[in-house]
Structure 1
Amino acid sequence: MFIKNSKFKKMILFTVLMLLIIVSGSAFADSQYISSVSADDSEIYISDTYNLTINLSNLPVGSTYKFLELKSTSIIEPTNGVYKKSISSNKVVFNLKQITDGSVIECDIVYNDGSSDKSVSETIVIPNVKKLSTSSSTSVTDTSKYEPEIKVVEENVPSFNVNKRNQIKFTLENIGTYSAKDINISLMYEGENTPLKKGNEVLTSQIAYLGKNKTKEIVIDLDLSKNSLAMLHQLKVKLSYKNAFGDSFKNDDYSYSFKVINTNTLPIIGIKKSEIRYTDVIAGVKNYIIFEIENTGTLNASDIMVELLGFDKDGIRLKDDVSKRYISSIKGKSTEKIYYAFIPASNAKSGNYELNAKFSYIDETGKKYESNSSVYIYVNGLDSKNIDLKISNKKFPKKINAGDEFSLNFDLENLSDIVANPVEIEAIYPDGIIPTSSPKIYLKTLEKDKKINIDFKFLAKNTLETGNYDFYIKFKYNTKGASESDYSEYKEYQGIFVQGASGMGRPKIIIKNFDFGSSKIMAGDTFNLKLDLFNTSTDEMIKNIKIKIESPDGIFTPVDSSSSVFVEKIDRNSTVEKLIKLKAKNDAEVKTYNLNIIMEYEDSKGNAYDSQKEPYKENEKITIPVSQPIKLEVGEINFPNEISIGRPLDLEINFFNMGKSTIYNLMAKIVDKDSNVLASNYFGNFDAGRTEYFEPTLQAQVAGDVKAKLLFTYEDASGEKGEFSKDINYYVAEETNNIDNGMNFDENIDMGNTQDKKSPIRSIVIAIVLIIIFIISLVIILKKRKKKKQMQLMLEEEDE
């Protein structure tokens, strides 16, 4: 019999299914271990929670149940996350949440048969689960609303060292009310300067299932690039997952931050050292240059291409070689050697020739780099610079007399491999010397190891004065075919002493030493300037010496004399001391001043001019520092009528700069007899004519006479330290109970007592005391104002 009505078919199938569920929910006739399964909810829908009771059949004697474990599934979820429970009295109860409308789940039952543990798997049908649609209705439930909520739990920012193995660790938490499955996690760097190693730009991980309110630690290996920037980096975290119904969801709201620790340095390739195989690089001769190539970074460099540039046909060029070299790798802080064969051009000139090494390479991450290094090779060319001329066997008198004939004789030898062509030799002589042979000699060639004798003859004039005279031998030479600009030349010096016909040289006077009695002169002071006048001549005395003193700034003026003084004579090679009394100007600024000393004199014959018609006159300059005296004045110090123990003593001290210069680094202190500082204040720079106040507060500790000192320390304009002090003496009485204003009120009086206020006698006494205090205060203030005005008048008079 066939049932053709499809609607009727569905109803029959549904009825059969429900019967199966009811039967299976009440008992498991075909199960050896589960006797029945029941739920405490008659209708179970998605998201409902309920208690599922599983009753177990009796085991044979000697066997005992241990535990029952529900297998993980997307259908249900234990509310407390516990899938495994111990079996007590052949019964297990789970509190579950329904995730889907499924009803069939699996479990494992473990028991002990008396000898060992056994495990069996069973199927459980949850009773009373309601399907989403049990009719032919066309309505469809939107399961996408059952969205899990997965977040990345915020943790402390970790630090990763690029030279170590690292792992990213963070926690995912499902904070929603629905479980998630098929969870995919990916982390990637967005932007430039990624710290991730090439080929590992995206980090991934997967989780099969994450129940509600559950967490899962994610661990992903992190492979960092060796040249990562040492800074804070951030990876974008992208999550994709499904709910129990297979609906897909995404979450890109999170990121993962970490710090990179990188002590590596990038590879830098350059030439550490260059070496020439044959020390002398000679034009036209093959040679080799060896380069020690260094990687100064800590990271390895690889695929290194070296290209040597700078070759020229008239300079240095490669010889049987190519300009490029390849080096597979150079480790960090390591070197490799390469070499090139080269030859200087046969016509190369002497000098330094530059070659440039160009490097291209990559680091461990494949990043490309370029660098350059220069080297210089000195070439001994076939030019005049390499001609080595040597003078030997030189014969020249050290001393002659005026009118003598003499000669300059020496051997000249070419010690180089290059022919000198031509060679010019010239004698350069002073005035008063006459050459009696040609002062120039011309040689067409001077070959290697060739030696010739050179002889110049001279005559010293009879009129020559005693003294030293300078001679030079000038050599100028070249190579064959070279241009005029290629000539080389040098000079050889030779001195000679000539004894003049008169036996005397030009006398000269100098100031050998001077002294003014101290390191500085105070403005307005009179002082003695001592001059030590020295006649440098070893042959002749000088006489009739007139010394004139000039002060360009008008700071120094002679005292009791004119600006000129007279010295009768100074013997040869002798010193005469002369004292000149001077006074410094009162208002001179603090600085160092010049003093010009002009000395006019005659030789022993009374001549005021020498043989060259030059006057016997010498000008010298000396310097004298001038300072202003420090004038620090202190006004009168007033003390209160009564000073007692435990009461503060407030002082007001006026002080004035009565001098004409600034006082520097001024500090005022009150010190006791043991030099203990009781009070202090720093005033810094104290300008001339200025007034300041020092207001210390002292505290009397012991009754009786107190001896203290007001101490000022300072520096003058030249940095010299000084101090000024003034004694401060006062008497401290025993401690009293009087109030601060001096009124002898009884401490037991209640100031708020209305009866005391009404006492007319007490009111009169208080009024009288207050009036007396006011009058005393007024008198003190007026005295201070008067004294301050007087001090200002004194300062104005000083300035005038």
Structure 2
Amino acid sequence: DNIFIRNANSESSSGGGGGGGFDKETIRPNLVIGSKAIPEGNAGSKISIPLTITNMSNYEARNIKITPQLPDGIFVIDQMMLDKTVGSIPAKKADNIVFQFDISRDAKAGTYKVPLTIDYTNVYGVVFPTETVEIYIRISNTNHPPELVVREARSSLREIPEEQDFTVTFEVWNMGTIEAKNVTIELTADSEHFYILDSLTKQYLHELKGLQSKEISYSLKTKKGMQSGTYGITLLMTHDSAEKPATYTMYVNVLGTEEEEEEEKDDIDIITENIITPQEAVLAEHPFTTSFTIKNTGTTSAKGVKVSVESGNTILPRSLNMLNIPEIKPGEAIPVAFSFMATKESESRSYSIKAVIEYRNNDESVRKEQYMGVLIENPEEEEEEEDKTLNTVPKIIISEYSTEPVMVNAGENFTLRMKFLNTNKIKAVQNMKITLVINEGSEETGSVFSPVQSSNTFYIDHLDPGKASEKEMVMYTIPDAKAKTYVVKAIFEYEYEDNDQLKTNNMEDLFGIPVVQPAKLETTEVIVLEPAIVGEPVYLTSEFYNMGKVSLTNLMIKAEGDFDTKESNYFVGNFEMGSSDYYEAPITPLRPGETKGILVFTFEDSAGQAHRIEKEFTVNAMEASPVMNPGFPGGMDPGMMDPGMMDPGMEGMNGSRIPIVPISIGAGVVVLIVVFIIVRKKRKKRKEMMLDEDI
């Protein structure tokens, strides 16, 4: 009853029996490729293309190879083999594959067609003709091209004498998200007034990454014989993809020979420069160092300067967190450095470290703060990390943010752009609400920032693991906002799945928005105290008021024109908000007739930007003439005549010989003295009124 089968073939097919005339090509699988949704990716990042290959036939498919035909200019190819292979797919079964490609940062947004070729065999090794199917992917591009601007410019000297070396430093910032390559920075300064030391006018950078900055410095020297005034120094910035160079002009204040003797005011001003923090992410429990330079830009030595750092409970100092510097001389810069280490409890995110500089300026205590950022990464072993990721709550952070303009003006609208990143590698979040909270403001106007025609809330329906979503909002800054950086709190509320259960989570992140107050210096018309005589001083007067909400610095007033203006300079220095003062100084006409001039007000605002206001005036000067005695022929003074020439009757011509010339000169002197006394009394009275207001 037993049956024996010889030469049995291990390969089988449900598609038919054997036989001498059996055609193996009829055993043809039917493969279908599909996906749940159109894959999406952002330029400059990776895109994942998950595909499901389903065998719809009753025959097994083997040696399956899927090859994508990628469109030009969209992807960065860094793989030798682009195809995916599957050993076999049984009848009525399916298998999954995933393609991953780097999207070019320059890829244009849009939906693209990607043809896929399919090669396969059946169980008998028969190779069937290549089949082609088409899938679609969607590309978005939120990148901004490189754009170079100067975020800050400063001079090593506020007022530069003749034949003096000085340094100008520009903070060149790439406002784009894409790096600028082969950057050329060129300085142009008027060769009539400045020497460029070391003959160095051009500097080169291989690249400047997006949203990063680089300080560029040049050494210059003023030439002899320069007149006092404000002079421009221009920086040209270009890179590979720039159509034309970007330009920025800073202005420096030069003191001519006549102003070098002016007495310097005692002043101490400590600033921070050359801030250096780790450029890459720092691993937890690994030491790192931050450093910066503190410089005294004032005219007086700073004594007893204290520098301390505050890093919180997660970032611990490994060195002393406080330094005492006995003295910093004017113009002296002292480097300081502090060492830290993130604890093992730290999170993978950006942390801020605050440096505090404290000193005394005369009788005033001064405290300045400088924030530094460091990115901490806390990795675990692969298995532990995967288990931990599966059981942890997904975290949302603000990976990037920017404002337009960069320095927000009080009383104006600005655009806030933010990018929210899901740092979890496995879990997605959904129904996310983001609320922006600003605690600072005023009793009259409320919060310092308020949304324009919208609420202070963002909504994101879904955010995949490792993905980011960009949002923007137009906001208004209250007019009486103080000039400083305001801290904004972002509160995240969202849902996520954990063990097939829907859970909720709340978390917060912080960022800062710098606000500046516009400078408002109001001036009256210039009054010329005539009459004006060639070679004699004539006084100019004008009142001026600080109508803004921020103090002005380095306020200087001087007259310009075809006059002798050596005595016309008035240096006010710091001019507090709400203050008023008046200008009164002499100029000397050099020629008769009508001559126009300008009264120039120069100052710096809270952001260090230089301003110049000009008020025009006109002087009508008369030629000085000799005083004549009208009682004598030809107007001659009888004192100038020979006694023998006098007619006996001339002695009684005017009753007696009155000295007309001395009396006329004396009368003119008396008039000048009276005018001078009145002017001085007015000035004294105004000063007393200002003093009473201050008290």
Q: TM-score range by the shorter chain?
A: 0.3 to 0.5
Q: Which has the higher contact order (CA 8 A, sep 6+)?
A: 2
